[in-house]
Amino acid sequence: MLTETLCEDDRWQAAGLDRLAERAALATLRHLGFDPEAFEIAVLGCDDTRIAVLNADFRDKPRATNVLSWPSEDLAADEAGEAPFAPEPDLEGEPHHLGDLALAYDTCAREAAEQHKPESDHVTHLLVHGVLHLLGYDHIRDADATLMEGFEVEILGNLGLKDPYREIDGPHGS
């Protein structure tokens, strides 16, 4: 397994976070040409209270958010819009730990409802987004955001999901 999932909030088990995380991580790594068997990712499914504490501790933002990521190494590109540096698999045959992700159930469910999309689609998008962060992608600089969002749209499209950045026209999308 590429992902190891811990559900602190039981609602994540009912939502199938372990299955969604594995699917999203596999799709992301394969799309970028990486062998998923060479890597591992830890995923925490929690609630808004827990993620607010994590967000305060690690980002000085004492509020809930949808997803947080902690890359095991800084792979960010030096120049805006360039691909990040590739992670190097461990030489001893053990999977290389790319980092950790945390998702807040309450925020994810609320955002999915506001965007009139299935929770599983929204969570899959956030997982792809988080895995891209672990691989050094970011969206602070405009050129980096364009690159990252382009990959998100491609990966989600390969999974049969709609472009999350396109306007939604109604309760069931356009």
Structure-token pair, residue 87 = 């992670």
- pLDDT band at residue 93 under the 50/70/90 scheme: confident
Q: 64 in helix, strand or coil?
A: coil
State residue 170's pLDDT score: 38
State residue 89's pLDDT score: 78
Please give the Cα distance from 53 to 133 (Å, whole number): 20
Q: What is the pLDDT of residues 39-53, one digit of tens each?
A: 999 999 999 999 999
CB-based burial label for 150 (10 Å; 0-12, 13-18, 19+) = exposed
Structure-token pair, residue 126 = 């956030």
- Closest to 167 measured CA to CA, from 97, 125, 116: 116
Please give the Cα distance from 161 to 26 (Å, whole number): 15
Binding-site members are 129, 133, 139
- pLDDT band at residue 169 under the 50/70/90 scheme: very low
Binding-site members for Zn(2+) are 129, 133, 139
pLDDT exceeds cutoff 80 at 174: no
CATH topology of domain 3-158: Collagenase (Catalytic Domain) (3.40.390)
- pLDDT band at residue 88 under the 50/70/90 scheme: confident
Q: What is the pLDDT of residues 14-71, one digit of tens each?
A: 999 999 999 999 999 999 999 999 999 999 999 999 999 999 999 999 999 999 999 9
State residue 133's pLDDT score: 98
State residue 92's pLDDT score: 79
pLDDT exceeds cutoff 80 at 173: no
Q: What is the pLDDT of residues 117-164, one digit of tens each?
A: 999 999 999 999 999 999 999 999 999 999 999 999 999 999 999 999
Prediction pTM value: 0.93
State residue 90's pLDDT score: 75
